[in-house]
Chain A
């Protein structure tokens, strides 16, 4: 086991700069999710750490040793591919034995013991003699995971490991992944475009954009305090409203939207007013009942109500744009109704950058 340190790492494919100088320190034993839309450089970063691609500039350290020029076969890494990459011509046992044979880690008896233990760990004790094509997608996924872990690599890399599974199986597997990792706390780097997956699994998330790290930190911290509108938007459920912020007459701050509506706002970053983005997450907005009041209130007009089973998602025209909010599923109003929206300014955030989306 070892931590991973990345220094000024860059990679160009021809004229395309996929990674533009990334610095990142991943603590020994932690679980980090590299997240971002496709083309943000997350997969490139993972491949540079694995050694399957060589960096144009910068270095990769595993533990204390610089592996930038070490080929992947000598890096002692476990990598699980999106396609699982199980060897179709080998049984599950032979697949699992492969890394141990290649690295001559153990004798045959110990290999068999480890294979049995690994299959127990992924709850597939009876499938050792089957071929990958005889397994379901979920079973293949677990075998691939066991194969990546079996030789106790110093770092475990997971490339979109759950994206080929259906939603229910994915939820189960996420829980299982957390369980398995408790028993084998290896430094793990996960690449995903699914923000929920990253938030669920990782100790630290790294949101990437156009070959750079946009923001890194604990999932709750990044979700609550996105530094840019891009991060807020990527992590999902954010209403991003362009506003102009000024000190309020009775102290505090006021945010005025383009349509003339205004509401109390939190303190702006840097303590200076001006044009910025107000972020209100959809779970923090509520439709106020007639007698109900809130610290921040605006009038709005319901555009649409989408019933979602456990909740209803409501679109309301207010503050000059369409805002989304999560309401109880039995919400009584319909499109066209005038309602009051309320929220707590402490739950909202002002973000300094002007750009809304990547």
Chain B
């Protein structure tokens, strides 16, 4: 918006921005407020104020187990997605090869296609080849969902790394392994860290893929919230959701910091 725009247009624009913010934040605010309720029903506005539902769910074994499972899956997926995504980012930004733009699209495709398609595909494959799903299959799915985020965060930082530093290292006697481990990757540290946080979050927040690929013994936090909502919709659901929201907000804030102005998520 320029300062020279007529007052009416600026007013309309300002109103539009405010409406957008309300529209985007309203659901989050409702859930967070509901979680603070002292009453027994999931309603808005909350009845009284208390943190008792947080204590409740944190003491609930089903929530504890779901949280643990979510963390294990997220950690495993992150540990696999980050090296793969980083390698992909290096390939896409540093090398010219036939089919490079196709590869670029392929790496981003899990962002473009509905998660449900990935989930169904994996389910068919898992039943046919492995006789059913397991934690490993879910992790594989989450790796696929998380890789695009890693490719984009690492790629954005890698674009800004002076290629001459790589060549300088080469002339100074560094072989390919040392050029990447000592010169290129350390300069991408902020992108790799942001990618790690986002990869963790993608896995941690996912409900769709897990819903398709779960086995009776697998329960994750988003699934637990969903199940509770179906059977006993108390403010504990809102408390668990708030924990998810706060974690996501924290991760996005940190990665924005790390990437300082480079647009990766949008």
Residues of A that sit less than 8 Å from B by CB = 50-52, 71-79, 81-83, 85-89, 98-99, 102-103, 147, 151
Contacts and interface: CB of A to CB of B under 8 A. Distances in A.
23 contacts: A71-B170, A72-B167, A72-B171, A73-B172, A74-B173, A76-B173, A78-B171, A79-B168, A79-B171, A81-B164, A82-B164, A83-B164, A85-B162, A85-B167, A87-B183, A89-B189, A98-B174, A99-B172, A99-B173, A102-B173, A102-B174, A103-B172, A151-B173
Given A83-B164, A85-B162, A87-B165, A50 B171 contact: yes
B178 interface: yes
Contacts of A78: 171
A275 to B, nearest CB: 47
Instruction: Kindly name the residue among B164, B168, B170 whose own CB sees the greatest number of chain A CB atoms within 10 A.
Output: B168
B172 A89 contact: no
A151 B162 CA distance: 23
4 nearest CB pairs, A to B: A102-B173, A99-B172, A85-B164, A85-B168
Chain B interface size band reads 10 to 19
Instruction: Kindly name the residue among A82, A83, A147 whose own CB sees the greatest number of chain B CB atoms within 10 A.
Output: A83
Contacts of A50: 171
A103 B165 CA distance: 17
Instruction: Kindly name the residue among B162, B178, B186 whose own CB sees the greatest number of chain A CB atoms within 10 A.
Output: B162
A147 B164 CA distance: 14
A86 B166 CA distance: 10
Given A83-B162, A85-B165, A85-B167, A151 B172 contact: yes
Given A81-B164, A83-B162, A83-B164, A89 B186 contact: yes
B171 A73 contact: yes
A52 B165 contact: no
Contacts of A99: 172-173
B181 interface: no
A280 B234 CA distance: 96
B172 A98 contact: yes
Given A72-B170, A83-B162, 17 more contacts: A52-B167, A73-B172, A73-B173, A73-B174, A75-B171, A77-B171, A81-B164, A83-B164, A87-B169, A87-B183, A88-B165, A89-B186, A99-B172, A102-B172, A102-B173, A102-B174, A103-B172
A106 B139 CA distance: 47
Contacts of B162: 83, 85
Contacts of B187: 87-89
B217 interface: no
Contacts of B169: 87, 98, 102
A112 B175 CA distance: 23
Contacts of B178: 102
A86 B169 CA distance: 9
A65 to B, nearest CB: 17
A87 B167 CA distance: 11
Nearest to B186: A89
Contacts of A71: 170
Given A83-B162, A85-B162, A89-B186, A103 B167 contact: no
Contacts of A89: 186-187, 189
B128 to A, nearest CB: 46
Given A89-B187, A102-B178, A81 B173 contact: no
Nearest to A84: B164
A328 B54 CA distance: 88
Nearest to B173: A102
Interface string B175-189: 100100011001101
Contacts of A76: 173
A163 B15 CA distance: 51
A151 B173 CA distance: 11
Instruction: Kindly name the residue among B162, B172, B187 whose own CB sees the greatest number of chain A CB atoms within 10 A.
Output: B172
A102 B170 CA distance: 9
Contacts of A82: 164
Contact of A52 (B170, B175, B182, B186): B170
Contacts of A51: 171
B120 to A, nearest CB: 44
Given A87-B183, A89-B187, A81 B167 contact: yes
A73 B174 CA distance: 6
A47 to B, nearest CB: 9
A133 to B, nearest CB: 12
Nearest to A90: B186
Nearest to A81: B164
Interface string B144-180: 0000000000000000001011011111111100100
Contacts of B189: 89
Given A81-B164, A87-B165, A89-B186, A52 B171 contact: yes
Nearest to A82: B164
Contacts of A81: 164, 167-168
A130 B182 CA distance: 18
A79 B168 CA distance: 7
Contacts of B182: 98
Contacts of B164: 81-83, 85
